Structure 1
Amino acid sequence: MTVVRKAILTAFLIPLLSLANPASAQQKANAMFGTAKTASPHKPHSIGSYAKGCAAGMVQLPETGPTWQAMRLSRNRNWGHPEAIEFIERLSAQAAKQPGWKGLYIGDISQPRGGPMLSGHQSHQIGLDIDIWMLPAKSLKLSRNQREKISSISVRTKDQRRVNGNYTPQHAAILEAAARDPAVDRIFVTPPVKIQLCKASSRSDKKWLQKIRPYWGHDFHFHVRLKCPKGSKGCVTQKPSVKDLSKGGSGCDDTLNWWVTEALAPTKKPDSKPAKPAPKKKNVRDFTLADLPKQCRWILAAN
């Protein structure tokens, strides 16, 4: 073995062996992934599930493109699987055709090597989740400082039951374009947006609407989740599928109204003493390296 080859092997094995010892395996995963500054030198690969995994060979979304700007650059979360970057390029180009939109403002994607984050998201761990602001991108010349201070807009009323005046047909067109993209698995939106999309869609083809999933907290942005890329062995597809959730339809049925009726009703106090609570589920912020797929240790160790 040459001196050069030995030096290279040593440089790789030392950090890997340090991550393999029991003490390192119990370190908080978000502290380790949250401080990684660059992607791993591997072929692109998403590993594990959206909320428990990591990613190899990630690509950084350019801060500014022809039809997008990445926001909150200080977070260093504008990294994704190449298919996520390509999706942003496609969708932002379509958004730029909408009146009043020059493209899209892109929020968090993932960290350079994926994994749990120090703050914020439970998911966004394998480079396939993308937050897209509801704020129309009227300028693509925002400075780094402006992108730290500017805020998105909510498209939902304060009572959480309806869309407000910020919601436009352009939002609907962009969401439909995203849902029709074959790379997309599902899109999370605030429930009133899903209801409004169902009301406004008069076409016979409503199947794309099954990808639009109502969920809390998505009134300032919509969250696109891509399918596991072909060949990404070890990437875990989310279950149930949108087809199962929508029972093969569009999801525009009576159950949709639950989100703006019963779900918002005040919680009644139980008449009797509650049963022993179930064991608390481990929070993503408490994950250790041992909780993640073993390949994530190699990704952290690689230089």
Structure 2
Amino acid sequence: MSAELVTKSLRDNRGSTVGWGIALVASVLLQLAVYPAVRDAAGDFEKLLDSYPEAFKALFNVEQSLASGVGYLQGEVFGFLAPLVLLGVAIGQAARATAGEEKAHTMDLLLANPISRTRLVLDKGVAVLGSLTAVTVAFGVVLLVGDSVAGLGVPWPHLVFAVLASAVVALPFGALALLLGALTGRPGLAVAVPVGLGLLTYLLDALSPLAGGLRSWRVLSPFHHAAVNDALTGDPNWLGLAGLVVLTACLVAGAAAAFERRDIRS
């Protein structure tokens, strides 16, 4: 690993990392601040939740009462907010890893150094992982502190499991962005395809329980294998998470191979 290239990439991505991190932390703090009011008005919120269509509840992965700590985090944090931000970090930075350098006409400068193309892609991937880890750690710390302050009552290991699962589900989408950027040199395409697949597979996982015809396709969704809601109740799908890590490694290997063979635009 080239420490200099990883450090440079982390520095180049720091604006994105800090921006996404602040957005996630601020949003989670706001949600935690509201929870005591939701808990105290449990009856009213239960009636409101019961009035929602099943499709709406499925869309936001609400499986328990919003008055409970687990149900509240499922609906308000892990249902949509956390996946959105963590996918944003992974996809945005991975798409720019090589394609962004090509677009800025700085790739030749990087390749002029004594480093192979494969090593360049891998180091860029490590930098993306570092940024994702930083945002994930900040997210986890806020949740762990907020759990006791807001009185959520969720055991801390369950929170750690859920945060970890939320980060792991972002990995294959980031790796796909890295692969597309390495294949095409087009950062726009490298963002658009993973974002579209992320939305599609999220909806597939969320809505498949309501549509019998979709259930057999649910296995295609990384969100299904991450099983964040199960992780939040203390039953993480370790096999599914391991599968996502393996898929990520395969996509990164494909990105390195593709970049090694492609003609680079000056």
What range is the shorter-chain TM-score in? Answer: under 0.3
**Which has the greater radius of gyration?**
1
The structure with the greater share of residues assigned to strand is 1
TM-score scaled by length of structure 2: 0.27
